Amino acid sequence: MRRFSLLLSLLAGDPQADRAVPPTGYTARLTLFTAGAMAFLAVFAMALASTSGRLAERWGAELARTSTLRISAPEAQVDLQTQAALRVLESTPGIASARALTSEEEQALLEPWFGAQLPLEDLPIPQLIEIVEDAEGYDATGLRARLQAEVPGAMLDDHAAWRQPLVEAAGRLRLLGWVSILLIGAATGAMITLAAQAALSANAQVIRVLRLVGARDVYIARAFVRRFTVRTAIGAAAGAAAGTLALAILPRGEVAGGFLDGLGFSGAGWLLPVLIPPLAALVAFLATRAAAMRSLEAQA
């Protein structure tokens, strides 16, 4: 309770207390700049975390849902084996549906690599079967064993083998994003501590006079705390706005492919940067208060 009222009185508006400490243009500008730059960086760290989080989820979901069965057999046997494979798949628990791709679909899949004029009929293109799992999923090892016995030309590709590392990388990237945000917060706190400490030592005589007329530590600290908190909030608001804008107007190109294209937030995620100024202000508040209390203790 005591701590709470202390916190309140530290934040409470008292323009007189603010006036008691002379304004210092230099530390004010440095604090604004630091808060702005850090908030700008924080937006990108948040975007990184958010984007890689989305990627991890999407890839993870696709990974879990679909797989492909490839049938490579002498031409005469392809149809036969495809029918056999579909029968096996239909009777496998955990598979919602299985469907052989038409040759048009296969052509469309290959087009980006080989062009539209590809004479598919003349090439030994394997037949693809798309498998969609149900929520339970199927037992890949069991299915492989059955296919080996009944459909010798079948190759089950459940995507896991090559997509798993991608999902892991995206997850790791998200973690790095959040670690960066923590580091940015800590660095902001450290820099504000230094700035506040400089302001406190520069104002040693002011602090002495305030004490001589009966000012309590909390009153003196408040002048500094409010000042740094407000400056940090303003700087962070500007930096966060600039960072968000920069993300919003990031050129989107087909060429950039999946990742760069998606860097940013989705939907309500665009509101995430709004959290930066209050969080920065909280960091500034705690850092300045600690610096002030320590410095007032030392100057006693």
Partner 1 sequence: MSVAGGPGVIELEDVSYSYGGGELFSNLSLTLAPGSFQFLTGPSGVGKTTLLKLCYGDLIATSGRVKLFGTDARKVDRDGIALARRRIGVVHQDCQFLDHLPLAENIALPLTVAGRQAEAEQNLGELLTWVGLSHQVDQLPPQLSGGERQRAALARAVIVSPDVIIADEPTGNIDWEMSQRLLRLLVELNRMGKAVLVATHDLNLIRAAKAQVQSRVLRLKGGRLQAAGADL
In the complex, the residues that contact partner 1 under the rule CB under 8 A are 16-17, 19-20, 22, 206, 208-217, 219, 296, 300
Q: How far is the CB of 167 from partner 1 (least distance, A)?
A: 57
By the 10 Å C-beta count (0-12 exposed, 13-18 middle, 19+ buried), 9 is classed as middle
Contacts of 289 (CB under 8 A, 6+ apart): 10, 221, 225
- Backbone dihedral region of 203: left (phi > 0), alpha (psi from -120 to 50 degrees) or beta? alpha
> One-letter amino acid identity for 214?
G
Q: How far is the CB of 216 from partner 1 (least distance, A)?
A: 5
By the 10 Å C-beta count (0-12 exposed, 13-18 middle, 19+ buried), 214 is classed as exposed
Q: How far is the CB of 197 from partner 1 (least distance, A)?
A: 19
Question: What does the alpha-carbon distance between residue 63 and residue 66 come to, in Å, rounded to a whole number?
Answer: 6
List, in sequence order, every residue forming a beta bridge with 252; answer none if it has no partner: none
For partner 1, give the closer residue by CB, 176 or 206.
206
Do the Cβ atoms of 130 and 68 come closer than 8 Å?
Answer: yes
For partner 1, give the closer residue by CB, 58 or 211.
211
For partner 1, give the closer residue by CB, 20 or 281.
20
For partner 1, give the closer residue by CB, 210 or 241.
210
Question: What does the alpha-carbon distance between residue 298 and residue 293 come to, in Å, rounded to a whole number?
Answer: 9
* DSSP H helical ranges for 66-139: 75-90, 103-114
For partner 1, give the closer residue by CB, 15 or 253.
15
For partner 1, give the closer residue by CB, 125 or 198.
198
Q: How far is the CB of 232 from partner 1 (least distance, A)?
A: 23
Residue with tokens 């299915």: 143
Q: How far is the CB of 30 from partner 1 (least distance, A)?
A: 20
For partner 1, give the closer residue by CB, 14 or 106.
14
Q: How far is the CB of 27 from partner 1 (least distance, A)?
A: 15
* SS3 assignment, position 117: coil
Q: How far is the CB of 290 from partner 1 (least distance, A)?
A: 17
